[in-house]
Amino acid sequence: MKFAFSTLGVPGLPVPEVVRLATAHGYHGVELRAHPEEPVHPALGPGERSAVADAFQDSGVELLGLAGYVGVAAPDDDASVLAELRALVDLARDLGAPHVRVFPGASPEQSAEEADATAARRLGDAARHAADAGVRILLETHDSHRTGAAAIRVLGPVGHGSVGALWDVMHTWLGGEQPSETYAALSPYLGYVQVKDIASADDTTPLPLGAGVLPLAECVEVLSRHGWDGWLCWEYEKRWYDAAAPLPGLLDAGREHLARLLNESA
């Protein structure tokens, strides 16, 4: 397996500094948060896109994906959601990123059936554009569809190779799902896995990997036992928690913890 980290842990950091951090601390890749607050977002011009792509290509660090904020089940009109999603896919294509992350984003007013159908319809429509761009859209286990069981209610009907799943281990745990259950549900669709750690279900302040309660060892064991050889991406949510320790000082220990879990599961 290969290790990456998300720029959610270093909000606003310029891309050359992000690449330098990855290189200095032995990470194979980076997930870029694609948001107007950040240096990378869909409004970037052609020259800025080329500069980002070149920074990764020259460094040897891989751009794992773009973490977007499209809510594919949200109660908005299809045209606006699909336009936002296509813009994110086009940005990923131009930067050389193989994945884009989307959220479910259903509202409490929607029934589960309505939300599932809406998300599946939109992802199915976007799948052809993604395939042409060489990009895979990944539905994260999050918010209204936080478990693998919920995510496959959307992914199954889509049935397209350019649409898959992003397993966020915190949300599936909060949803009461065991790692073996999540893997069984998502394995046909799995793009990569977001790892993190927290103190409890009531306190989701990010902690160093291994310092909290999330079942990281079990997740890595399940993945290893099934021969999955993809990406583990550390999503340290510093952006939302001012009191959390700065990520750069934790990167070495985080990588070492993931490597130790891999060795123990071998």
CA separation for the pair 226, 151 (Å, rounded): 20
CA separation for the pair 236, 232 (Å, rounded): 12
pLDDT reported for residue 57: 96
Residue whose tokens read 């599936």: 172
260, exposed or middle or buried, with CB in 10 Å at 0-12, 13-18, 19+?
Answer: middle
Domain ranges of the chain: 2-265
pLDDT reported for residue 266: 78
Question: pLDDT (tens digit, 0 to 9) for every residue of the chain, 266 residues total?
Answer: 999 999 999 999 999 999 999 999 999 999 999 999 999 999 999 999 999 999 999 999 999 999 999 999 999 899 999 999 999 999 999 999 999 999 999 999 999 999 999 999 999 999 999 999 999 999 999 999 999 999 999 999 999 999 999 999 999 999 999 999 999 999 999 999 999 999 999 999 999 999 999 999 999 999 999 999 999 999 999 999 999 999 999 999 999 999 999 999 97
**Nearest partner of 55 among 115, 97, 85, judged by Cα:** 97
pLDDT reported for residue 148: 98
**Nearest partner of 105 among 91, 132, 85, judged by Cα:** 85
User: 3-state SS of the chain?
Assistant: CEEEEEHHHCCCCCHHHHHHHHHHCCCCEEEEECCCCCCCCCCCCHHHHHHHHHHHHHHCCEEEEEEEEEECCCCCCHHHHHHHHHHHHHHHHHHCCCEEEEECCCCCCCCHHHHHHHHHHHHHHHHHHHHHHCCEEEEECECCECCHHHHHHHHHHHCCCCEEEEEEHHHHHHCCCCHHHHHHHHCCCEEEEEECCCCCCCCCCCCCCCCCCCCHHHHHHHHHHCCCCCEEEECCCHHHCCCCCCCHHHHHHHHHHHHHHHHHHC
The helix-helix angle for 78-95 and 46-59 (nearest 10°) equals 50
Q: Residue 140 forms beta bridges with which residues?
A: 166
The topology (CATH level 3) of 2-265 is TIM Barrel (3.20.20)
Residue 246: Cβ within 10 Å count: 11
Answer for the pair 151, 145: CB distance below 8 angstroms, yes or no: yes
Cα Rg of the chain (Å, integer): 17
163-168 and 190-195 strand pairing: parallel
